[in-house]
């Protein structure tokens, strides 16, 4: 296990300096929208919170952490905070292959397409799409989180944004529950699948659903993806621990202890975004809800 203090201070410094926990400049990660011509405004603003975009970098940094966990090298991490965030982040960005980066953008393109097919009136503005700061909150850096969240929320408010579509459970939880509480700024927040209205079909497929902790337990949204899938004739095979009782995929432990995260994930896969990357790593045949839906519309 790594020394949590070193990890937290590194992440906190990165967010402060670069607004990204991994120190990767936004223009290097956020490219998924470039070849789509999405409108800049609409009833809703799409806010990805950059979690999907960070996924390949999280994977890459975890591979490195995994290699060094429990070795003497692990103690060198404390010096990372003396390195400017951008520098370490660009290093990480260069170690991650173009294909990995491109794949990470695919679910976002799929989601945009699903929303368009469902005739949802939404816009996308990369300048307003920022990281929510959720990792700082989870790690207990309350002050760092509040400072960051206030900046992000204020920017959205200044742009006149009232309704937001999110794509991942962590960003949804941050904007819907934490922003009002800690920044005093509230938005109407929908997860993209709540707005889907796809043509019914009878595909006769069966899948297993993993409910992310934040959707299942904190936001109580697990029945909605099931309705969307049901409408396409996709049924769910039984799995232990679902909905409000969903088990953890182990992802959040990654930055502190990759080996612990592997242990938890192994358990989950025997039964069956952060979750996706983590469940894939174990070799299971998993895909994002959006990928599955796009294939069948």
Partner 1 sequence: MTTINLDFAEELKEYSDDTALECFNCGTCAAICPLVHDNFPRRMIRYIQVGAREKILENSDELWRCLHCGLCTHTCPREADPGEIILGLKRFVVANWRRS
Footprint on this chain of partner 1 (rule: CB under 8 A)? 1, 3-5, 7-8, 138-143, 213, 217-218, 244-245, 247-248, 250-253, 256-257, 260, 264, 267
Among residues 43 and 244, whose Cβ is nearest to partner 1?
Answer: 244
Nearer CB in complex with partner 1: 101/281: 281
Nearer to partner 1, 154 or 259 (CB): 259
By C-beta, is 96 or 183 nearer to partner 1?
183
Q: Kindly state the smallest distance separating residue 141's Cβ from partner 1, in Å.
A: 6
Q: Which is nearer to partner 1, 180 or 243 (CB)?
A: 243
Q: Shortest approach of partner 1 to residue 117 CB, angstroms?
A: 33
Supply the minimum distance, in Å, between the C-beta of residue 256 and partner 1.
5
CB of 108 to partner 1, least distance (A): 25
DSSP the chain: ---HHHHHHHHHHHHHHHSSTT---HHHH--TTTTS---S--SEEEE-TTHHHHHHHHHHHHHHHHHHTTSGGGGGGGGGGGS-HHHHHHHHHHHS-HHHHHHHHHHHHHHHHHHHHTT--EE--GGG-----HHHHHHT-HHHHHHHHHHHHHHHHHTT--EEEE-SHHHHHIIIIIHHHHHS---EEEEGGGG--PPP----EEE--PPPHIIIIIS--THHHHHHHHHTTEEE---SS-GGGPPP-SGGGTTT-HHHHHHHHHHHHHH---HHHHHHHTT-----HHHHHHHT-
Nearer Cβ to partner 1, position 117 or 217? 217
The structure tokens 């502190």 sit at 256
Cβ of residue 81: shortest distance to partner 1, in angstroms?
A: 13
Structural tokens at position 115: 């929303």
Report, in Å, the least distance between residue 258 CB and partner 1: 12
């Amino acid at each position: 296990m790594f020394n949590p203090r070193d990890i937290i201070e590194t992440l906190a410094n990165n967010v402060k300096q670069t607004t990204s926990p991994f120190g990767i400049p936004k223009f290097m990660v956020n490219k998924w929208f470039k070849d789509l011509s999405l409108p800049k405004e609409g009833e809703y603003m799409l806010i990805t919170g950059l979690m999907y975009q960070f996924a390949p970098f999280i994977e890459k940094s975890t591979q490195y952490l995994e290699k060094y966990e429990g070795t003497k090298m692990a103690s060198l991490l404390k010096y990372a905070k003396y390195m400017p965030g951008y520098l370490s982040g660009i290093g990480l960005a260069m170690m991650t292959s173009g294909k990995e980066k491109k794949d990470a953008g695919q679910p976002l393109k799929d989601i945009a397409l699903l929303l368009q097919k469902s005739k949802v009136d939404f816009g996308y503005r990369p300048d307003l799409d920022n990281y929510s700061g959720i990792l700082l909150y989870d790690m207990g850096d309350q002050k760092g989180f509040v400072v960051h969240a206030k900046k992000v929320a204020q920017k959205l408010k200044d742009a006149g944004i009232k309704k937001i579509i999110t794509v991942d459970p962590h960003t949804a939880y941050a904007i819907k529950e934490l922003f009002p509480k800690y920044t005093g700024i509230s938005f109407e927040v929908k997860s993209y699948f709540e707005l889907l209205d796809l043509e019914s079909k009878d595909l006769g497929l069966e899948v297993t659903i993993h409910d992310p902790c934040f959707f299942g337990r904190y936001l109580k949204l697990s029945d909605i993806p099931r309705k969307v899938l049901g409408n396409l004739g996709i049924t769910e095979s039984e799995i232990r621990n679902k909905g409000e009782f969903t088990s953890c995929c182990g992802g959040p432990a990654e930055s502190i202890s990759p080996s612990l995260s592997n242990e938890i994930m192994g358990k989950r896969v025997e039964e069956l975004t952060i979750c996706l990357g983590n469940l894939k790593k174990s070799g299971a045949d998993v895909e994002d809800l959006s990928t599955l839906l796009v294939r069948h519309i």
